[in-house]
Amino acid sequence: MSKRLSQRLRGPNATFLIATLLFFVVVQALLSFGLLNNFWRGIIFWGVAITIVSLGLNLIYGFNGQFSLGQYGFYAIGAYASADVTYRFMRSDNSALIVVIGGSVITLLLMWGLSALLRRFYGVSTISAFVFNLLATIIGFGCAVVILVPALNAPISALLAVLPSGLAQQIVFFFALLGGAALAGIVSFLFGMPGLELGSDYFGIATLGFTIIIKVLLDNTDTILPFPEMKGARGMVGIPQWTTWPWVFFSFMLVVLVMRNVLHSSTGRTIVAVREDERAAELVGIDTAQSKLLAFVLGSVFAGLAGGIRAHDLAFLHPQSFNFIQSFNPLIIVVFGGLGSMTGTIFAGFTWILLLEGVLRLYLPAGFETWRFVVYPLLLIMMMLLRPEGLLGQYEIAFLRAKLPTLNRKLTTPAPTAEEVTA
């Protein structure tokens, strides 16, 4: 065990670990000593959030080949859900926490049971499976609202009141982020199950519709939906500003590690195989529907997590920041960085926000930001003409690269004889 650990901590892994830790410490120091003002702090946090969304999109579009414009919808779901949890917690009401976490847990358990059950049946159509899962979701969250909230609200509030307020805050924030991500994952699962059957381009249009639906729902949270605290089109205020650099950094590292570990596994290879040739993947025995759904849900969970981080940094949410024009941001980042390159997405995500939202806003005359929508498409067109594979193509830094296996000598040279082994 220790041997394996020491092996793992050598070479590119060690370099990467040291570099990221250094980055973490430097930014933390700059923030602690007040060398970065709130503007730059916001820019960095925003950069990380949008990079996480873009990584999720790269998993869906760059690695799995499914064109999605819906990531801002899931980003919005994560943001609003987690904001609602902490907003209510601040007003000594833990119902949102219980619904989001309890409902997600029940729903996931029901879905898990359902998938085991449906596997025994012969020829269940996607639409029936979808309806069953939708019912499971309704039952899961219904149970949470009807049973869990009245039963658990008082004890959980009492429990959180006993804890020191700082600790209670961090615990609630953790569950808020988790709940936002889980909710985004469940919605993406329900949406993706029938949606991904459409095939790449039509799926892209469906996700565009999804983003618009989410935006319209957010405009009407206080009228159609029963969430008066979200204040519909006026924007949600009063969200605690709890996002700190460690939260941002470790969420980011978690996303990078999970994505890398998934991509370098056998399942990850099937995800890439679907991009390469879906029919061929199907005909070497890969359940492509499952593979596509996995990439889509994982990417959307990332988006939901980023939403929670962003909401608790900005402390203000407005439906307009989640409209479909905004949803092109991660797409542009992914295309710029290179489809199928995690390094490229990380690089492009940070550059995008630092440059366009940070540097240009500060150093160029006021009113320039209205020109951004002229600059974006021009940049994109130039990119497509000059370097269609993206800035970094499919390049990865050593830490994120799959190790190429060495030649198996056993197969090419004859096996050593007994004397050679003992000698």
Contacts of 173 (CB under 8 A, 6+ apart): 86, 242, 247, 312
Specify the residue, 17 or 139, whose C-beta has the smaller distance to other proteins.
17
CB of 133 to other proteins, least distance (A): 18
Of 126 and 223, nearer to other proteins (C-beta) is 126
Place of tokens 């050598």: 10
- In eight-state DSSP terms, residue 353 is I
Supply the minimum distance, in Å, between the C-beta of residue 175 and other proteins: 21
Report the residue number, 281 or 348, with the smaller CB distance to other proteins: 281
Q: How far is the CB of 85 from other proteins (least distance, A)?
A: 25
List contacts with other proteins (CB under 8 A).
Answer: 4, 122-123, 258, 261-262, 264-270, 272-273, 276-277, 279-288, 294, 404-405, 407-408, 411-412
- In angstroms, the CA 365 to CA 323 distance is 26
- 162/284 with CB nearer other proteins: 284
The dihedrals phi and psi of 350, each to the nearest 5 degrees, come to -65, -45
The neighbouring-strand residues paired with 317 are 236
Q: Are 259 and 55 in contact (CB under 8 A)?
A: yes
Residue 298: CB minimum distance to other proteins, A: 9
> How crowded is residue 296: how many other Cβ atoms within 10 Å of its Cβ?
29
Nearest-angstrom CA–CA distance, 136 and 151 = 21
CB of 406 to other proteins, least distance (A): 9
Question: In angstroms, what is the C-alpha Rg of the chain?
Answer: 23
Distance between CA atoms of residues 6 and 41, nearest Å: 35
| Least distance (Å) between residue 283 CB and other proteins | 6
Choose between 56 and 319: whose C-beta lies nearer to other proteins.
56
Cα separation, 209 vs 219, whole angstroms? 15
User: What does the block give as tokens for 9?
Assistant: 């901590």
Q: Which two tokens stand for residue 64?
A: 């799995």
Q: How far is the CB of 345 from other proteins (least distance, A)?
A: 18
| Least distance in angstroms from the C-beta of 93 to other proteins | 34
DSSP one-letter code for 398: G
Selection from 70, 78, 122 nearest residue 255 by Cα: 78
Sequence-distant (6+) residues with CB within 8 A of 18 are none
Other Cβ atoms closer than 10 A to 391: 17
Provide the token pair at 46: 């925003």
Nearer to other proteins, 11 or 377 (CB): 11
Question: What is residue 226's DSSP assignment?
Answer: S
Minimum separation from the CB atom of position 405 to other proteins (A): 5
